Amino acid sequence: MNTKDLGFNSKLVHAGDFQDEFGSAVTPIYQTSTFSFKNSQHGADLFAGKEKGYIYTRIGNPTIEALENKLAELENGYKGIALSSGMAAVSAVYMTVLSQGDHMISTGAVYGPSRGVMETHFSKFGVSYSYIDTSNLEEIKKSIRPNTKLLYLETPANPTITLTDIKKASEIAHEHGIIVCVDNTFCSPYLQQPLDLGADIALHSLTKFINGHADIVGGALIAKSKELYDQLRKTMVYTGGNMDPHQAFMVIRGVKTLSLRIDKAQENAHQIAEFLENHKKVEWVKYPGLKSFPQYDLAREQMKGFGSMISFGLKGGYEAGKILMDNVKLATLAVSLGGVETLIQHPSSMTHAGVSKENKALAHISDGLVRYSAGIENVEDLINDLKQALSRVDLNQ
């Protein structure tokens, strides 16, 4: 079915999906590593690209391709590439766009490993980088060097929720022939479409909103041009970061309800952010839908909704964070985000417990910072849960 002219929700359900010869209602799982050739000529034609078909699952597979085609339509891109994880997607971008001697500019407050792999691995191959505040366009301009090849943006950033103006940043980058990649994990294409705003690559950790059920790890890249798509695809195939057919099936199933899940989760998040903003034990709240959010206007312009990620700071700092973690009952204490279940995490006492003060500052993590991924539960239950857990925090201790 041609789904190109359908609305976003119809695309979520139908784009990319196909029926097999049995009339399957959903895209089946082709759980096979390899595909037989009809004869030697057929094999030769497939390899030469003279005939369409499948050879080997790392190179291509019907279930995986169904997901790739769906994601490409959702992001308005040329084609999609599904990978084993979000980090496989990040690494594939660095590997494809950057060569020895090249320079990258990136949002400073990116997801830690997106920075980690650059600093520990890509630096070994002679790539240099500038981690800056990309919400400040002047800083982007100042950081451009003759050898800058990639502008890597994460917006909203994890966990600061700071936004970067994708349209303006892309215009600046393109004046210098720099490729722009946007990590769109926090929004998903339902809330933000980076390629329409001028970016060249949209990147996702599918683990989060797109799959939405906290039961698989996956990643994706959607390229705007055929040229970039071909290069990225080659990197994935050569380095073996491919997705598995079963993983793809799970994501296809999960993504069909993306808009329903996000509508409910962001409605919950908005009310929770307002509750937190008025709570005496909370020092600050960062949620793009709050009038107090410093980039509220940009959020309204660039995003179709405010999402369901909240960061907030507790007045009691580290100790208060620990008490909150030990007393919430409905929210699950866990890393990750974007699932139907509410997740909460206090980086200082959990993921970043062994990290030095300097490195925590680099990651923009203060002692009282709490990250909250609102799920689709009843909002009264979520607020009551926070209320009772916050009542245990004693600011006079």
Measured distance CA(318)–CA(357) in Å, rounded: 13
342-371 as b/e: b if 16+ CB within 10 A: bbbbbbbbbbbeebeeeebeebbbbbbbbb
Binds ligand LCS by CB under 6 A, chosen from 327, 336, 341, 350: 336
Minimum CB distance to ligand LCS smaller for 74 or for 309: 309
Q: Which stretch binds ligand LCS (CB under 6 A): 131-139, 160-168, 285-293, 331-339?
A: 331-339
Shortest gap between Cβ of 204 and ligand LCS (angstroms)?
A: 8
58 is catalytic: yes
Task: List the interface residues with ligand LCS, window 243-302 (CB under 6 A).
Answer: none
375 binds ligand LCS (CB under 6 A): no
Structure tokens at 223: 């390229």
**DSSP symbol at 242:** B
Shortest gap between Cβ of 113 and ligand LCS (angstroms)?
A: 6
Binds ligand LCS by CB under 6 A, chosen from 217, 243, 250, 320: 217
Shortest gap between Cβ of 85 and ligand LCS (angstroms)?
A: 3
Other CB atoms within 10 Å distance of the CB of residue 146: 6
Q: Sign of torsion, CA 190 192 197 203?
A: negative
Binds ligand LCS by CB under 6 A, chosen from 68, 154, 165, 385: 154
17 is catalytic: no
Burial classification of residue 337, based on how many CB atoms lie within 10 Å of its CB (0-12 exposed, 13-18 middle, 19 or more buried): buried
Q: Which residue of this chain has its Cβ atom nearest to ligand LCS in the complex? A: 86
Any bridge partners for residue 203, and if so which? 183, 221
Other CB atoms within 10 Å distance of the CB of residue 152: 27
Residue 156, preceding peptide bond in cis (omega within 30° of 0)? yes
Binds ligand LCS by CB under 6 A, chosen from 104, 118, 337, 365: 337
Residue 159, preceding peptide bond in cis (omega within 30° of 0)? yes
208 is catalytic: yes
Task: List the interface residues with ligand LCS, window 46-85 (CB under 6 A).
Answer: 85
360 is catalytic: no
Minimum CB distance to ligand LCS smaller for 86 or for 189: 86
Where along the sequence are the contacts to ligand LCS (CB under 6 A)?
85-87, 111, 114, 154, 158, 183, 185, 205, 207, 217, 219, 335-337
Would you name the residues annotated as active-site residues? 58, 111, 183, 208
